[in-house]
């Protein structure tokens, strides 16, 4: 028989879980480690392309699996894959070995990307209030970023003692997520007694696929097609696909710009990345408050525009590149819970993880061409010029999208949940 836990306790456990899915122990030294293991920059870039391709291939299937086996079980699978891949990095030496581990790491992300948000939204809807999603999601990301910042400060020291220690520490931390997940409840639909007593959501809308056993592949395809091919989600998701794609490519150029153009030492990169995590944590923690103050549409329009303009300035004044990167990192973490909450509010209970995984798939699709495009521009000119070109590309794409169908326009601000 399904029994509720204390809502406050569940939220705290979610925050604790978020501190176990960080890469801070090894992320600031990852490129150095890969180069030391004999990989070239071309091979490292190719690993990123493989990761994006795995996400494209795996997002919807793993989202479908999450909707079949339960969101918490999918999160458990993700944590297990993180442990295997991160721990394996310590022992890999060849490109093929790293490729296999990168594939595992990518699948770990796909199993988590839709299911974690779906679990949180459903749990809040059942036990507390779905309107709390942005606040709780933002604070969870904030906890993740704060802890990530703390672990980043140790990365250089661990690497100096032994290059494998950052990965051993990272895998051990990921492993702690498994008992934390086992201590949180399944959502009502996947509870041990077979699910809720009726097939109707709290919104009074028929889920359309009944209980777990009636949700098939055709249902998943139908849900994704119907949700993402029409307003309000189609332009909204495209808008963020371009934005997050541009930010992902710009991330590749932060280190050479900070060292080559700003003039900081390589040893200071760990501190810089810890600073990024702190700024991101603060921004994520206050996402709901800022959304309330500016409205969803206000945040969606203003923050990306400010970030894009800031990334254009370093072409004239390279010294401002570092604060521009801080602004970019904070802006992304401010926007992500708002974006995720907006999408969650407009999809139904059944197929939620599938739709969220489809959104992640579209984001990955945009990264595949943007990554080599940024690399070509950087090779032909400079990393700082590539950053400006990418920022300009977003501004143009955003303008065209607003002319076609404004993302999060006032006409679509109202919550309108549909399922099929």
**Model pLDDT, residue 105:** 92
111, 268 contact by CB (below 8 A): no
Look up the CATH architecture of domain 7-187+214-411: Up-down Bundle (1.20)
Confidence at 123, pLDDT banded by 50, 70, 90: confident
**Model pLDDT, residue 207:** 40
347, 121 contact by CB (below 8 A): no
How far is Cα 319 from Cα 360, in angstroms, rounded to an integer? 34
Number of residues that make up the chain: 420
- Interval 287-292 mean pLDDT: 88
**Model pLDDT, residue 39:** 79
Residue 301's φ and ψ, nearest 5 degrees, are -85, -45
Confidence at 395, pLDDT banded by 50, 70, 90: very high
What percent of the chain is modeled with pLDDT above 70? 84
How far is Cα 80 from Cα 84, in angstroms, rounded to an integer? 6
Top-confidence range, 86-90, 156-160, 411-415:
86-90
Beta carbons within 10 angstroms of residue 1's beta carbon = 5
94, 35 contact by CB (below 8 A): no
Beta carbons within 10 angstroms of residue 3's beta carbon = 8
**Model pLDDT, residue 348:** 65
The 10s digit of each residue's pLDDT in 129-146 is 778 888 888 888 888 888
Query: Chain-wide mean pLDDT for the chain?
Result: 81
**Model pLDDT, residue 145:** 80
Q: By C-alpha distance, which of 308, 353, 374, 327 is closest to 123?
A: 353
The 10s digit of each residue's pLDDT in 47-64 is 877 888 887 787 677 777
| pLDDT of residue 304 exceeding 90 | yes
Better pLDDT: 215 or 234? 234
| pLDDT of residue 8 exceeding 70 | yes
The 10s digit of each residue's pLDDT in 227-256 is 677 777 888 889 999 999 999 888 878 877
**Model pLDDT, residue 154:** 85
**Model pLDDT, residue 416:** 43
**Model pLDDT, residue 392:** 95
């Amino acid at each position: 028989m399904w029994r509720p836990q204390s809502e406050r306790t569940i939220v705290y456990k979610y925050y604790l879980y978020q501190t176990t899915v960080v890469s801070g122990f090894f992320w600031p030294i990852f490129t150095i480690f890969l180069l030391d293991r004999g990989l070239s920059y071309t091979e490292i870039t190719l690993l990123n392309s493989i990761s994006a391709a795995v996400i494209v291939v795996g997002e919807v299937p793993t989202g479908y699996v999450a909707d079949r086996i339960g969101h918490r079980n999918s999160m458990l699978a993700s944590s297990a894959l993180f442990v295997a891949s991160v721990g394996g990095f310590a022992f890999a030496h060849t490109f093929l070995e790293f490729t296999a581990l990168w594939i595992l790491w990518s699948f770990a992300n796909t199993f988590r990307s839709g299911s974690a948000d779906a679990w949180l939204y459903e749990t809040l809807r059942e036990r507390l209030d779905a309107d709390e999603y942005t606040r709780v999601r933002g604070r969870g990301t904030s906890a993740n970023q704060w802890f990530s910042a703390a672990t980043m400060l140790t990365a250089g020291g661990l690497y100096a003692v032994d290059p494998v220690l950052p990965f051993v520490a990272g895998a051990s931390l990921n492993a702690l997520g498994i008992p934390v997940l086992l201590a949180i409840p399944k959502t009502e639909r996947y509870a041990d007694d077979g699910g809720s007593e009726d097939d109707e959501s709290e919104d009074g809308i028929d889920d359309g696929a009944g209980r777990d056993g009636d949700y098939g592949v055709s249902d998943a395809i139908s849900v994704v097609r119907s949700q993402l091919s029409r307003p309000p989600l189609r332009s909204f998701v495209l808008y963020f696909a371009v934005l997050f794609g541009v930010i992902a490519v710009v991330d590749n150029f932060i280190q050479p710009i900070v060292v080559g153009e700003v003039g900081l030492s390589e040893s200071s990169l760990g501190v810089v990345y810890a600073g990024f995590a702190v700024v991101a944590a603060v921004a994520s923690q206050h996402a709901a408050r800022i959304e309330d103050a500016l409205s969803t549409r206000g945040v969606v329009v203003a923050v990306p525009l400010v970030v894009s303009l800031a990334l254009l300035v370093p072409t004239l004044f390279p010294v401002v590149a570092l604060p521009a990167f801080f602004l970019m990192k904070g802006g992304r973490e401010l926007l992500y819970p708002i974006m995720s909450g907006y999408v969650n509010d407009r999809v139904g209970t059944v197929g939620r993880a599938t739709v969220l995984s489809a959104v992640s798939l579209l984001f990955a699709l945009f990264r595949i061409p943007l990554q080599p495009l940024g690399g070509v521009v950087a090779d032909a000119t400079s990393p700082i010029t590539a950053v400006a070109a990418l920022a300009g590309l977003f501004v143009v794409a955003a303008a065209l999208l607003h002319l076609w169908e404004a993302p999060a326009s006032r006409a679509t601000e109202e919550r309108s949940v549909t399922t099929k």
